[in-house]
Amino acid sequence: MRVELRHLRVVCAIAEAGSVTKAAAQLGLAAPALTTQLQRIERTFGGQLFHRERTGVRPTELGELVLARARVLLPAAQGLEEEATRFASALSQRDATTSYRIGAVNGPLIGGLVSRLAATHPAARLTTHPSWSTTELASMLLDDKLDYAIVGACGEATPPLAGQLTWHLVASAPVFVLLSEDHPAAGVEEISLADLADAQWAATPGDGCFSDCFAAACARSGFTPQPILETDIGGCIDLVRSGDAVALCQPTFRESSGVVVVPLAGSPLHWRHLLGWRPDSPAARSAETVVSLAAEVYDAAVSRSTAYRRWLATR
């Protein structure tokens, strides 16, 4: 048998009571059972811990040694248990505010937001969930599978589950187009939708009303657009770079080799960047900070966009 803390507690209880019988009553045990237990403990230590006398018991020299150590170890163990409990509680509270599960649709916010959260909260656990579906992300917020969601909404469209989730507007911006650097309109200040009536269009997919809003804007410009080719960002860029399509894009889109960003005349389409969370979730306590960081990220994206800054300067 190996010595455990419970054995030390028994030895201390007997010494403090001065009697096996009295100690047994305090411990809620029968005296014979405690006597048997004490004998096992003594065998483990290799000798008697108490002198048995008619008036009770008193520690032997070996017993004094064991008691001296026990009276140090038992309070230390109790202190460790209490400190560990407090620490675990603190960790739980910390994790409630620094565990960031963020879902996002395509846009300029997610990368910079993760970077800023990591810098602000180095111990935070950060996970991301990409999706083309704002409805999916909203449902994940409601089901506590995400803490925050970054989504887009066309024009004044209501975001999903608006009555159950909190949505904060981070930024609202016009929609621009992405053209091949060899496109005839690549160097213009802006281009009208009507000038692109014969174009093949490309865009990333989504489940909102953007395609309907786009079709309505084209109708106001006097034409019906060709069906939009939906693909990921890389696919859109490849189609534009090759001259096979023009793409709808956000004004903060980073230009790369072979493509340029051009504003649409009259700003017929607008896009809102929204940050959402469940109002009764732990994430709500940190929402103000996350919103502030998201706004910083968007401002930084604007500062990097030559086309958008030039467009803003004229308005």
CATH number for the domain spanning 246: value is 3.40.190.290
Among 52, 71, 94, residue at a domain's last position: 94
Average pLDDT, the chain: 90
DSSP single-letter state for residue 177: E
pLDDT at 89 over 70: no
**Helix axis angle, 61-98 relative to 5-17, nearest 10°?**
130
Summarised one tens digit per residue, pLDDT across range 15-31 is 999 999 999 888 888 88
Note whether 54 and 174 are same-domain residues. no
- How many CA within 13 A on the CB side of residue 129? 18
Structure token pair of residue 267: 């700003």
pLDDT of 96 > 60? The answer is: no
Task: Indicate if 81 and 186 belong to the same structural domain.
Answer: no
Residues 26/13, Cβ–Cβ less than 8 Å: yes
Residue ending a domain, among 54, 78, 94, is: 94
Choose the final residue of a domain: 59, 94, 129. Answer: 94
Averaged over 288-295, what is the pLDDT? 94
Residue 124 pLDDT = 84
CATH number at residue 34: 1.10.10.10
Query: Would you call 246 exposed, middle or buried from its count of C-beta atoms within 10 A (0-12, 13-18, 19+)?
Result: buried
For residue 14, give every residue at least 6 positions away whose Cβ sits within 8 Å of its Cβ, in sequence order, or none.
Answer: 20, 23, 34, 38, 50, 57
Residues 83 and 103 in one domain: no
pLDDT band at 94 (very low <50, low <70, confident <90, very high): low
pLDDT level of residue 170 (50, 70, 90 thresholds) = very high
Residue 3 burial (CB count, 10 A): 14
Q: In whole angstroms, what is the distance from residue 58 CA to residue 16 CA?
A: 10
Please tell me whether residues 74 and 141 are part of one structural domain.
no
141 shares a domain with 45: no
**Whether residues 136 and 19 fall in one domain:** no
Q: How far apart are CA 109 and CA 150, in angstroms?
A: 8
Domain holding 206, by residue range, is 99-313
